[in-house]
Amino acid sequence: MINSLYVAVKRKRINRKYALGRIKEFLDYEIELYQIDPKGIFKISYKYDLTAYDASYIYLAKSENLPLLSLDEKLTSVI
């Protein structure tokens, strides 16, 4: 979410003040956070040639024993 806002500001689609307001608003939601293992994510990224974002989804699905729902066949083939 933060990266999306950053890119939107950089491309002058929104201004910085608006982006910071959306970040504050986002933090007000009661979203459950999970701990991750950066080394584990790196290993998945390297092994399957994935971005850290995609490797994070796989890591969380595996560590929480949950299905990974995605239309991205590369991701779902790893699980």
pLDDT at residue 32 tops 90? no
Question: How much is the CA Rg of the chain, to the nearest whole Å?
Answer: 15
Separation in Å, CA 2 to CA 5, 46, 64, 77? 5, 24, 24, 28
Whole-prediction pTM: 0.65
Q: Map out the domains of the chain as residue ranges.
A: 1-30, 38-78
Q: Token digits for 56?
A: 């994070």
Interatomic CA distance for residues 48 and 41, integer angstroms: 11
Q: Residue 63: which residues within 8 A CB-CB, separation 6 or more?
A: 34, 37, 40
Percent of the chain clearing pLDDT 70 (strictly above): 100
For residues 1-10, average pLDDT: 94
Mean confidence (pLDDT) of the chain? 94
pLDDT digits (tens, 9 = 90+) for 33-56: 888 999 999 999 999 999 999 999
